[in-house]
Each structure stands twice: as structure tokens, then as C-alpha cells.
A and B are shown apart, each in its own frame.
Chain A
């Protein structure tokens, strides 16, 4: 047994539940009499809904297939070797379940080395090798092809990426080393760093070809046939593959610098993966592949044993799995059909909601408001947005006509809502107003209609309390911008019944939102945690810590923006309002900052001015601030803020605001854009020791978002 085989055998024993990919070797006669050819098909035996992955046994199978073709190539029995995938899938990379199981650095190292040892063989056969990217290719799937002499790609390929950095890894089976050597550092940085950090952006087949990753592009209908014809012509010398010479000079360094700039902009140095990948790309400039592979092995092993990757995989699974099967949602068969939607209010938020319902549900949507002018403005906004979609080619004229015909505005609720199945309100955030609105709607809407409220901080139970049928009311809390942030907090009031809740979840799914079930507690999940977090920042500023120290204190978390920039985005007035609500509920933990109040009263929209291009404290705001004399260091501020967040989450879980810490993290990722490397936040609080310090225990069991014991 070769050392590679031994390495993989050891790894396979650690991962008995691997979905094993077979590497079938089949021989064929190439067209044009080009000779006998061995084609390897990667196939895990399932259909496209279970994409092909590489675990250790899968790698061992490919290794065995390569034993066979290596001998055939050496013996002159074949003229080339190809590798392709099952229908619709090429291969989507390493099996993350196997990565999660790894406990020791040496085992992690073995995975990296094992992959390299197997894939590398494709570049060392006595005959040329060809990868045919027939379908989805990611991570190790992309990399196995990079080791081949030539590549073709299907125009029908829907998704191609090196998503490792997105998760917290590096493309470590040759990606960091081979890709820049194939297409140049600039394009490699685009694929490995930029796309990955841009919410794991996928390339389509044509882009794969245009980037120079593939040498030929063929249509999906007869992709493999044309690839094999092309192969025959390449082997016969009828087609000469030309690739542009890559710039190994200053452009290489500039590309790496650009990559660092992008990484800084996204993770602010807080997660190591992008920087490790850039180090390897930088080193790949000298073209020494083995040196690059060794660096990849080390980076992979280090990252696999680090908390950021574990948090990243955890976060990925939350979004992909828990986000699609919300914990605690009632049986979906209880959901009632929604064939018409009413929207109370025609302001900006209401109009955005109308547009969303319209586009996703494609049912009549009726806006109402207190005067015709507002109603017209709301409908006008929706029409204008539809025209924008039409202009961008996102919808065609027929669809635009259909959508425009579906949206109407009326003053008379009785006329608008008499046959509505689902009515959502987005009126002024004041309990009396909302109760009044729902009472009016109840008087005219059908008995089965669901009433949803987009309140961010009021009690759903209280809002429903004056109705004849309070069981029909649910909280339906969107996050701004509605079209961008996936989270929808679905709030169950005390009397909300299962049918209403099931309908709310069914609607959320159609809206393509990530729904999380939340108890009717003050400010629900995201706003409560963000307000506690911001409140603690505000507190230390009020007590005397300089603004810039407070801001810098949380930089190591790598949040999408600093606390005060976030406050500016939310709007200081809204931030103040939520903090007042929470102060009302939990006065000992949520203070109302006098400085924030002063800023709001002064009509300031934020703390910063951007005259120099960078945020600088607005002198007018600075003049308003009245600070104490307690000056904390960044470390002290960070500890206070994190302790506060850990305490609040602990209390929320005790109160049963959500089912588990996982839901908190899912909310923070999808509603506040908190990063994968934090896993939302609880994996970070656990690994930094904050949870134990504050609550005496970790939020998550060992091995969940962490290296298993």
C-alpha cells in the first residue's frame, strides 16, 4: 500500500459515514481515430440533489482509478485520460462533515496531503489529462480539474467557485497555487478572495472560460461529445491550446495587495483564511508548485484546527439547513392559502413590503392609507420599482404588466380587504395606532384572514388583545433593507394559533426569507442584541472613553461595520426609540444614553462626517457629548461589550425567546450580517471564554462550531 493510500485509509476510519464517491474508469475510442482513451466519472451514486463530494474514501477511490490509468498510460494502452462528473454535477469539493470530525492537527494535515497526493497524479501521467467541467464545480472539484493538462467547461454549468475562504479555509488542494499560475494572480484573487467574500459568488460556465480557467467552452446539449471531439483534435495536434502569458512582475504583487484590501474591507483582519490564501498566492509567483502545496497543507491544517473555520461551517449549515427548516414551526399542512394580500400603510416600508409580496407571491396586493395622495405615492413606488426591474431585464414586459395589474391602492379598507387572506400593517410604531388599525381591518376582512405586524419592538400579544380573534395575529418582522437582508423574525403572540403561524411560515418561504420563530419578547432577537451591544458602546463613551477607542475595541470581531456607522445606518432616532422600549422592559440592563438623546434632539443623522473621505467625528456632535472621566482601554471596552452580549443571550435563552442558541446565531447572520467566522456570535463567545466567564457555561456543546474534544 502506498503512503497516500495509508494516509487516506487512516482518514477514512475517522469518517465512517462518508457519502463515498466512486471514480469509474471507462474506456472509449476517441473520434478521428485519435486513439483509446480512459474517462474517469466521479459519481456518488445519488442524483444531482446530493452533489458529489470528496471525503477520504472518495479520494482513495480516485487514487485507485489513477493507479489503473497510470499503468495504462505507461504501457501505451491509452492516449489520454479525462475526468468528468455525473449529470449536472462535476464535484463540489471536500465533504464538510468529514472536516468537522477532525480533532487533531495531524489528521487535518493528512487530509490536505492526501488530496494533493491524489490530485497531483493527474499532472504526472505519461499522457495528457483533461477535465470536463460538466456541471457544478466547487472547491476540491475545481481543484481536481486544475491539476489536469486541459479543461473544457459547459455553457450550462450554473455554479463554479472556490468557496473555501467564504467558509474559513483556503483552496488547499492546489487551488491557491495552481490558479494564479494558470490565469494570473489578479484573476485568481478575484475567484479565490473577492468572489468568495462576496457572499460566495458563483461563476457560470462562460465566465470560467473567459477567465481562462477552461480552454474550451461547449453547449450543454452535447457537452461531453464535443469535449471528447476537442480532446481528439488536441491529441492529434489539430488544435493547439494557447494560453496568455501571465504577468509575474509587479502585477502579481498588486493583485495580492488588492486581495488584502478586499479582505480588510470584509473581515477587517478578524478571520485568517483570506490572508492565508493571499500569502500562498503571493508565494506562488515563483512558480514552485510543491512549495505552494506544502504551504496549502499547513494552512489547511491550521485553519481546520481553528475556531473560525468551525464557526464558518456551523454558520453555513445554519443558513443552508436550519434556515430552511425553522425550529418550532407548526406542521406546514396547517397553512392556509394566501391568494390576496392587504398592506396597511403606503409609506416607504409598506411599499417595499407590497413589492416583495407582489414579486414572490404574484397575487393581488392592495395598499391602503389615510389619504389618496399617500396611496398613489405607494402604488407609484411599486410601479417604478417594477419598471426598474424591467429596465434591468430581470423581468419581461408580460411579467411587468402582470405585476402592475396586481397592485392597487384604495382608501376604503372594506373595499380593499374584504377578500384578503393576509393583511400586514406597517404603520406608525405606536401600540394604540396599531390596535386601532387591526380593529378596523377585523371589521371588514374575512374571518380566516391572518393579520401580520411588522413591528420591531411592540408586543404582538398586546396588539392582538383588543381583537375578537387575537389568534390570527402574528409578528412578521423584516430587516432593512427588506430586499437584501434575508431574516424574517416570526413572532408568536400568546394567543396566536398554529394555523396562523403555519401560514406565516409558508408565506415567509414563498418570500424566500429565512424565518426564525421568536417569542413575543421586547425587541425580539436581533434588535435586542444589537441594542444591548450598541448600548454598552454608548455607555463606555458616556462614561468617558473616547469615541475612537470604543469603536476600535470591537474591530477584532470583523463586523460588517463599526457600531456608530451602524447606528447611522439605522438612524439615531430609531436606535434611541428601541433603546427606550428596551429600557422600559429591562431598565437595569438597557440605559437610555443622554448623549444619544442629545444627538437625536439636535437633529443629527449620525456621529460622523465624511468630508475627508473617511469617517471623522462630527465636531457638532463632539460639542454635544458630555462624557465622564472613566477612560477604558480597547481590551476593557471589548470585554464589557462581549460580556453584555453574552449575558443578554443567556437571558434570552432562559426566557425562551428562541428555541436554541443556534437561532440567535442564525438571526444575527441573516438579519445583521454578522460574519461566518464568528458563527453569528455564540461560537465566538464560547471560544473566547466569554460565555463561561459570564454565564458559567458555553452556549454550544463541544464539537458544535468548535474542534471536538
Chain B
């Protein structure tokens, strides 16, 4: 039977405010599944044109798929969110690129014609599920030297990346981090972020974290507006003595969830749904696990090649800031300035936080807002590095593109 590949669009995306992992964090007493369920519900409220019965899939990513992130989260979250029982769901794991992979995998199925519309998102409650919880790496990794021992420790891989690119100094990383905080604060001040946040009610019973009882979270907890170079200069380098990676120039350990609606463009138009971004291409690539922060470079090369585009065609970048060094390696590779205005206009994960498997959709939601504001831009890109040596890139087209008449 004849098949036609269909255009896939990003309809809308929301997220919970991100929290700091740990006993004093805002989500310490909040379940991970509840976070993603509330994001899905908000998405449905915002898009009444989407009949829940017509959702073909709920793909939810989590890195640690046990406890409140287990039990085939996509399915259970759908039921908990009040979706019809006829709507199926599943779970996805590609560590930090979980939600991004939820989007691309379902997008591939939409293009193929298997789905019309899906929910794709992710959640990571790193307070409840610290990185490496319950892992059991095969001893052959070490005995056969398949990967370097540092590969499992993301901070160490970031130090390794500094080794590979000596020109990326701690100072450059810190300067980048300060700018990320500044841009995020500015984006907040301009109301760019809040419009896509889902308020979350949170309970606190332990007074050490602050006032007890029920509260409402409406803003990201990790933000440190007003951060200066001086503040960052003397932070500890926990991954290596006299190292360069600090809590200040890396994303923290965070809790949060994201969700998006991905649909075929025809379906979106027929159902009166917004079309915020059009998918152009996506690619994943593997690199040496001990320098996983290099991953976005080959992934982007592949995605650009598939799209027949070059880096100069990309007008907006949303790069996940797991570590400043990893962003700087990418920028250096493409000859882009550290403070290029096209890159992470609203700031990044260094300011907002990076709840692993949820972050991909945050990048997309922010890129979608930037597309809306900047119709002269035709293409944008979301990219992230992924644990165990991978990179993931999605290239998007701006449906508001006005032909470049700025």
C-alpha cells in the first residue's frame, strides 16, 4: 500500500517548575508520577481542541524506572491523568534525552502514519531517585576496559572534556554560567518562562525545609539570579582536585516533569490545534562514554546532514546545559561565540535545573516561544548530551517564518 511520510509538529509543551533534589527541595514529598500527571492535565486544559480519545500514545521518559517512576509510567500516568482507558502508553529511557526521545520516537510513528497525536514527556525526581539508583553495571565494562571508569560519573566526564579542549578554561565556563543565570532571570522578568509552567501544590511536613503544610510552586527553585563570577570562583570542584567543574557551572540535581503534544500537521490543523514547530530532522550519535559531553556535535552533524542544512541555517539554539564545558565545546566546534545571541536566549539548565529525562521537552517549549517571537528565523535546533556517551539533536522549522524579512 502506498505510504506518504507526514509532517510532524510540536503543538504545545508545558512543564512543572523544576525543584532542587533533596530533603529541603520543594518536591521532596511529591511523587514523580504526580508531577508528570499534572503536566499532562495542564496540557489538555490548554488544548481543548484535542479530544483525549484521539490521543494515540502517551510516551513518558524516566531514567530510573522504579517506584513512582516505574510501572510503565506512560500507561499509569495516562490513567492517573484521567485519559480514556483506550489511550495506551509506555515508558522511554535514554537518560538525559528521555523526553527528547519520547518526542522523536512518537514523531517517527506519526510520520509513518501509526499515530495522529501523542503526549510525549518525561520526569525525573532525582531526590527520590538519585542518579545510579539500583544500577548494576556489567563487570566486563571494567575488565575488558570497554569504557573508562569515569564514564558513569557525569561530572568526571565533564572534567575529561575540559582536558580534551584546554582552551575551555574554568573561567570561560564560569562566565558562561553567569550569563545563563542572567538570561534566565531576564526571561522570568519578561514573563517568557511562567506561561508554560504548571503550578504544583506541594506538601511539606518537615520544618527544616521551611513553612510546613501545603504550598504552591509557581517558579523554578534552582535559579540563582545575581550570580557573579566572584561567587563562582571559589566553589569546590567535587569531581577532581583542582578541577574545573563546579556546582556553579553545571546543572544541579533536580526534580521536575515535562509534557508535550506532538501531532501530524494535518491533524493539528483539522483540530484547530496550534502548530508551534515543525519537525525537520533528528539524529542520535554515540561518542566515547568518558567524554559524553561531546555527543551533541556528531548528533548535530548527522541531523544537519539529513536535513540538508548547514549550521549557518540555524537561527536559534536550545542546548541543554548539563555542563558549561559541553556547551562551549559545541560552540567552539561550530565557531560560535560564547555569548552568541542565538544560543539559549532564555538561559539554560545551569539556571533552571536539569531533571534528567524531562529536559528535552523544556528545550522545545522554549524554542517554540522563541520561534513565535522571531518569525525571521526559519530553523532552530534542540540538542543535548546523554550519559554513557551519546548526543541527541532535533532540528525544527519555524511555522511562523516570514521569509526572513527582519
Contact residues of A with B, CB < 8 Å?
A: 22, 24-31, 39-41, 43, 45, 84, 86-87, 219, 221-222, 224-225, 228-229
Contacts and interface: CB of A to CB of B under 8 A. Distances in A.
A29 B216 contact: yes
Contact of B199 (A25, A41, A225): A225
A37 to B, nearest CB: 8
Interface in B73-92: 80-82
Given A219-B82, A221-B82, A228-B199, A84 B211 contact: no
Interface stretch (B55-63, B201-209, B251-259, B323-331): B201-209
Contacts of A87: 203
B45 to A, nearest CB: 9
A41 to B, nearest CB: 3
Contact of A84 (B81, B205, B210, B214): B214
Given A221-B38, A222-B201, A225-B38, A41 B213 contact: yes
Nearest to A228: B216
B231 interface: no
B216 A222 contact: no
B174 to A, nearest CB: 31
B167 interface: no
14 contacts: A24-B211, A24-B212, A26-B212, A27-B215, A28-B216, A28-B218, A31-B216, A31-B218, A41-B213, A84-B214, A86-B203, A222-B41, A224-B201, A228-B216
Contacts of B198: 225
A24 B81 CA distance: 29
B48 to A, nearest CB: 15
Contact of B201 (A45, A86, A219, A228): A228
A353 B16 CA distance: 54
Contact of B218 (A29, A40, A86): A29
B111 interface: no
Most chain A C-beta atoms within 10 Å of own C-beta, residue among B38, B41, B82, B211: B211
Which size bracket describes the interface of B in this complex? 20 to 34
Secondary structure of the B contact surface, majority rule: mixed
Contact of B38 (A41, A84, A222, A229): A222
Contacts, number: 65
B37 interface: yes
B201 A40 contact: no
B214 A221 contact: no
A31 B217 CA distance: 10
B103 interface: no
A221 B80 contact: yes
Contacts of A229: 199
B200 interface: yes
Nearest to B210: A26
A45 B203 CA distance: 12
Given A27-B211, A29-B218, A43 B199 contact: no
A426 B318 CA distance: 77
B211 A25 contact: yes
Secondary structure of the A contact surface, majority rule: strand
A543 B41 CA distance: 75
Closest 5 CB pairs of A and B: A24-B213, A41-B213, A224-B201, A26-B211, A26-B213
A27 B200 CA distance: 14
A41 B200 CA distance: 16
Contacts of B212: 22, 24, 26, 41
A225 B200 contact: yes
B214 A225 contact: no
Contact of A26 (B200, B215, B219): B215
A40 B211 CA distance: 11
Contacts of B37: 221-222
B82 A39 contact: no
Most chain A C-beta atoms within 10 Å of own C-beta, residue among B82, B201, B210, B218: B201
Given A43-B213, A225-B38, A228-B216, A26 B204 contact: yes
A225 B216 contact: yes
Nearest to B40: A221
B267 to A, nearest CB: 26
Given A29-B218, A225-B198, 17 more contacts: A22-B212, A25-B213, A26-B204, A26-B211, A26-B213, A26-B214, A26-B215, A27-B211, A28-B215, A28-B218, A39-B214, A86-B203, A219-B82, A221-B81, A222-B38, A222-B42, A225-B38
A24 B219 CA distance: 22
Most chain B C-beta atoms within 10 Å of own C-beta, residue among A22, A41, A222: A222
B60 to A, nearest CB: 15
Given A221-B82, A228-B216, A31 B211 contact: no
B225 to A, nearest CB: 16
A401 B111 CA distance: 43
Nearest to A29: B218
Most chain A C-beta atoms within 10 Å of own C-beta, residue among B198, B201, B213: B213
Interface in B187-244: 198-201, 203-205, 210-216, 218-219
Most chain B C-beta atoms within 10 Å of own C-beta, residue among A27, A28, A29, A219: A28
A45 B37 CA distance: 26
Contacts of A224: 201, 214, 216
A483 to B, nearest CB: 31
A40 B213 contact: yes
A219 B205 CA distance: 24
A27 B214 CA distance: 9
A686 B122 CA distance: 66
Nearest to A220: B82
Contact of B205 (A27, A39, A43): A43
Contacts of B200: 225
Contacts of B80: 221
A87 B213 CA distance: 11
B277 to A, nearest CB: 26
Interface string B290-314: 0000000000000000000000000
Nearest to B219: A29
A30 B199 CA distance: 9
A86 B203 CA distance: 9
Interface string B40-71: 01100000000000000000000000000000
Most chain B C-beta atoms within 10 Å of own C-beta, residue among A26, A39, A86: A26
A23 to B, nearest CB: 8
A84 B203 CA distance: 11
B218 A39 contact: no
B179 to A, nearest CB: 27
Contacts of B211: 24-27
Contacts of A228: 199, 201, 216
Nearest to A37: B216
A336 B118 CA distance: 51
B41 A221 contact: yes
